[in-house]
């Protein structure tokens, strides 16, 4: 293992994996990855149920869905390209300590499927309002078209950026040196006062 600076250049002396207390060698990590993958699969239904409960409340925008998921302790990370178009969503379940991409949960939970479902929910609410209200339909239609434009160009919100920044930034840690790397202190010999 090596320490990297802000630009990704290697700094300092490398540390052997076998010298670290938890022994994160390649063989041990591969074993851990396989066991964690099977444990992750067993938690997939719990996340799906929470997502289905939030979708059953018929949110009309992506922001509404994200807020409903936050109430169920599932946080979302939206991935966007340079033009602001969404191409991926990740669900972070802090309660079960598991992370899934939308497509990992199934086709119905991908960004494209969620956006089309939210758009159809918007259209349904629009048709219901038109049949009930009549004159207020044009203002609602303008609002829905405005929401669709906002969803297409949703900037990554500050909380998502700060969450990713916290995870990806390297911080200096003091006082966390493994015991095996610490130098042992030598005892001073005492002079015998009797002699």
- pLDDT tens figures, 95-145: 888 888 888 888 888 888 888 887 776 566 556 555 555 544 555 566 666
Residue 31 resides in a domain: no
Which residue segment(s) compose the domain that 150 sits in?
36-166
Residue 9 resides in a domain: no
Q: What percent of the chain has pLDDT over 70?
A: 66
The predicted pLDDT at position 140 comes to 56
Give the distance from CA 107 to its chain's centroid: 19
Which of 73-77, 82-86, 126-130, 162-166 reaches the highest mean pLDDT?
73-77
Residue 114 resides in a domain: yes
Please count the other Cβ atoms lying within 10 Å of the Cβ belonging to residue 69: 22
H-helix or E-strand spanning residue 57: none
Q: Give the pair of three-digit tokens for residue 82.
A: 């340079």
Instruction: Please give the model's pTM, rounded to 2 decimal places.
Output: 0.54
Q: Give the pair of three-digit tokens for residue 83.
A: 């033009």
Number of folded domains that form the chain? 1
Residue 177 resides in a domain: no
Compute CA distances 149 → 45, 85, 119, 187, whole Å: 33, 11, 11, 72
For residue range 161-187, what is the model confidence (pLDDT) as tens digits?
556 666 666 666 556 666 666 667 777
Q: How many residues does the chain have?
A: 195
Region of residue 58 (phi > 0: left; psi between -120 and 50: alpha; otherwise: beta): left
Residue 57 resides in a domain: yes
Residue 89 resides in a domain: yes
Report which of residues 137 and 188 the model is more confident about.
188
Residue 117 resides in a domain: yes
Q: What is the DSSP string of 81-134?
A: -TTS-EEEEEEEETTTTEEEEHHHH-GGGSHHHHHHHHHHHHHHHHHHHHHHHS
Residue 145 resides in a domain: yes
Closest-CA residue to 161 (of 103, 86, 80): 80
Q: Which of the 8 DSSP states describes residue 188?
A: P
The predicted pLDDT at position 158 comes to 41
Contact 18/25 with Cβ under 8 angstroms?
yes
């Amino acid at each position: 293992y090596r320490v990297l600076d802000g630009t990704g250049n290697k700094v300092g002396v490398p540390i052997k994996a076998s010298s670290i207390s938890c022994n994160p060698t390649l063989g041990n990590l591969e074993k851990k990855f396989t066991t964690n993958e099977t444990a992750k699969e067993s938690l997939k239904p719990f996340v799906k149920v929470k997502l289905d409960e939030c979708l059953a409340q018929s949110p009309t925008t992506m922001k509404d869905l994200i807020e409903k998921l936050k109430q169920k302790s599932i946080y979302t990370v939206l991935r966007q390209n340079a033009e602001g178009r969404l191409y991926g969503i990740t669900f972070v379940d802090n309660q079960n300590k598991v992370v899934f991409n939308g497509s990992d949960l199934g086709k119905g939970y991908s960004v494209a499927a969620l956006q089309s479902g939210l758009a159809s929910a918007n259209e349904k609410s629009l048709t219901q309002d038109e049949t009930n209200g009549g004159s207020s339909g044009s203002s609602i239609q303008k609002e829905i078209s405005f929401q669709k434009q906002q969803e297409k160009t949703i900037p990554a919100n500050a909380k998502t950026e700060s969450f990713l920044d916290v995870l990806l930034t390297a911080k200096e840690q003091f006082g966390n040196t493994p015991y095996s790397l610490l130098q042992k202190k030598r005892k001073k010999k005492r002079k015998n006062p009797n002699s």
